Amino acid sequence: GSVFGHLARAPEDPILGVTVAYNKDPSPVKLNLGVGAYRTEEGKPLVLNVVRRAEQTLVNDSSRVKEYLPIVGLADFNKLSAKLIFGADSGINIVKQQVIESSNVFSSRNHVICCRDASYCLILCSPAIQENRVTTVQCLSGTGSLRVGAEFLAKHYHQRTIYIPMPTWGNHPKVFTLAGLSVKTYRYYDPATRGLNFQGLNLSCFLHLHGLLEDLGSAPSGAIVLLHACAHNPTGVDPTLGQWAQIRQLMRSKGLLPFFDSAYQGFASGNLDEDAQSVRMFVADGGECLVAQSYAKNMGLYGERVGALSSVCKTADVASRVESQLKLVIRPMYSNPPIHGASIVATILKDRNMFHYWTIELKAMADRIISMRQQLFDALRSRGTPGDWSHIIKQIGMFTFTGLNSEQVTFMTKEYHIYMTSDGRISMAGLSSRTIPHLADAIHAAVT
């Protein structure tokens, strides 16, 4: 018998398994809304023109070789990735309108954050990059960046507990647990309002506040908190800037360590700076944080596995010691990262014209997703489908958290050949004007 004869068959991955089931379905009308990958209006995967151009540039450059990269990856890629997420000069960063509201100004050594609400916010950043307080290492896309960051924290950080939102991307708890962290959750989504469970009133205990703020408020001092930088997966619900300001204030006052997962920069609003506001708010106050970046969605580089882990530290000296320890995490894991995808990204980020062209293609992807939201909403309204579907147009990013339960999802898969995760999450990027009527018919039939 085999030495592995005792093995039980493991279940398919809950997200990637949706595609496995979809591939087995012979129906001509089948629709895969499970995995979060962008599709064109024709339902085809998209390689950005700017990526093709960058690849051409790389191919034509005969001086390029296939030597190993350093353990931390491509230097240009790392520097430019930090600039992309933390801001061009991380000098002065003006978000929306400049309104100074004396009632809500936080300041310290070299920054001011002034927020009244989502529409008025002025951030003067602390120049973390210029002060060499940021260390960035190239990793294997978002997942690899999260894993390297988590392994580093498990080894060197005094608090081994990480709080993740409830719900969150299904891979988060596994990545953090296997890295050696202990995973706890904080309340995030409120199914009743289909919005953020920020500090809702608990009616059974009048005046007692609960939700996200209470859960982070009662986390042990120093605990790590995983925050989705924008376009929260799977709910599509993000805090407003005003709520981010409150989260920041609470976390800093308790010494909680922010670990940002930035998998959708530019994909949510169509604007790279706007989607980085949450992260920049935490960097502007001079405090420390970790950020995992992915270029899978915003450059369409899914299979190239390009990402970065940045650590913003109090001093340049600490940052360089952090980097030295990150190398000890990476070396025995995969030695050093692959060269091709990071070279594409660096080529685009360092060329003014290519960068500009990228922002246009990125905005076009974001706009198509936003238009799919409107079309699905309109299609349900025109069918008179019972229920309030306004969350479809309110939610942000690649996914809609429909509110459909697992029985309804099973029904839609069986009767309409529509594939999605059992929590009712659908990828808006997988839809087109052609397929929306079929989806709307299926949702209508599932809820009536």
Q: What is the largest CA-CA distance in the chain?
A: 75
User: Residue 143 Cβ, how far from ligand PMP at the closest point, in Å?
Assistant: 3
**Which parts of 260-289 interact with ligand PMP (CB under 6 A)?**
261, 263
Between 200 and 307, whose beta carbon lies closer to ligand PMP?
A: 307
Between 139 and 412, whose beta carbon lies closer to ligand PMP?
A: 139
Among 236, 258, 307, 430, indicate the residue that binds ligand PMP (CB under 6 A). Answer: 307
Between 169 and 358, whose beta carbon lies closer to ligand PMP?
A: 169
Length of the chain: 448
Among 197, 246, 294, 375, indicate the residue that binds ligand PMP (CB under 6 A). Answer: 294
Catalytic residue among 275, 297, 358, 441: 297
Preceding peptide of 234 cis, ω within 30°: yes
Count of residues touching ligand PMP (by CB under 6 A): 13
> How would you classify residue 211: left for phi > 0, otherwise alpha for psi between -120 and 50, otherwise beta?
left
423 given a catalytic annotation: no
**Which parts of 140-159 interact with ligand PMP (CB under 6 A)?**
141-143
For the chain, count helices (H), then strands (E). 14, 17
Rounded to whole angstroms, how far apart are CA atoms 359 and 279? Answer: 19
24 given a catalytic annotation: no
Q: Are 245 and 113 in contact (CB under 8 A)?
A: yes
Element (H, E) at 399: strand 399-401
Give residues with Cβ within 8 angstroms of 198, minimum separation 6. 211, 212, 213, 239, 243
Rounded to whole angstroms, how far apart are CA atoms 349 and 54? Answer: 10
What letter does residue 45 receive in the DSSP assignment? B
Between 166 and 318, whose beta carbon lies closer to ligand PMP?
A: 166
126 near ligand PMP, rule: CB under 6 A = no
Which amino acid, one-letter code, is at 222? G
441 given a catalytic annotation: no
User: Residue 247 Cβ, how far from ligand PMP at the closest point, in Å?
Assistant: 17
Among 120, 169, 189, 244, indicate the residue that binds ligand PMP (CB under 6 A). Answer: 169
User: Residue 165 Cβ, how far from ligand PMP at the closest point, in Å?
Assistant: 10
Between 174 and 208, whose beta carbon lies closer to ligand PMP?
A: 174
- Torsion angles phi and psi, residue 422, rounded to 5: -65, -15
**Which parts of 215-254 interact with ligand PMP (CB under 6 A)?**
228, 233
User: Residue 171 Cβ, how far from ligand PMP at the closest point, in Å?
Assistant: 7
**Window 177-216: contact mask with ligand PMP (x via CB under 6 A):** ----------------------------------------
Give residues with Cβ within 8 angstroms of 385, minimum separation 6. 440, 443, 444, 447, 448
Between 358 and 416, whose beta carbon lies closer to ligand PMP?
A: 358
**Window 29-48: contact mask with ligand PMP (x via CB under 6 A):** -------x------------
User: Residue 44 Cβ, how far from ligand PMP at the closest point, in Å?
Assistant: 19
User: Residue 212 Cβ, how far from ligand PMP at the closest point, in Å?
Assistant: 17
Alpha carbon of 336 to those of 74, 139, 144, 312: distances in Å?
10, 8, 12, 22
Instruction: Label residue 24 exposed, middle or buried (CB < 10 Å: 0-12, 13-18, 19+).
Output: exposed
Between 233 and 243, whose beta carbon lies closer to ligand PMP?
A: 233
Catalytic residue among 215, 238, 244, 261: 261
Q: Are 252 and 261 in contact (CB under 8 A)?
A: no
Q: Are 30 and 417 in contact (CB under 8 A)?
A: yes
Candidates 103-111, 135-143, 179-187, 240-248 — which segment interacts with ligand PMP by CB under 6 A? 135-143
Compute CA 54 distance to the chain's CA centroid, rounded to the nearest angstrom. 24
Q: How would DSSP label each residue in 272-314? A: TTGGGHHHHHHHHTT--EEEEEE-TTTS--GGG-EEEEEEE-S
Residues that bind ligand PMP (CB under 6 A): 36, 141-143, 169, 228, 233, 261, 263, 294, 296, 302, 307
Give the residue numbers annotated as catalytic, written as ranges.
Answer: 169, 261, 297
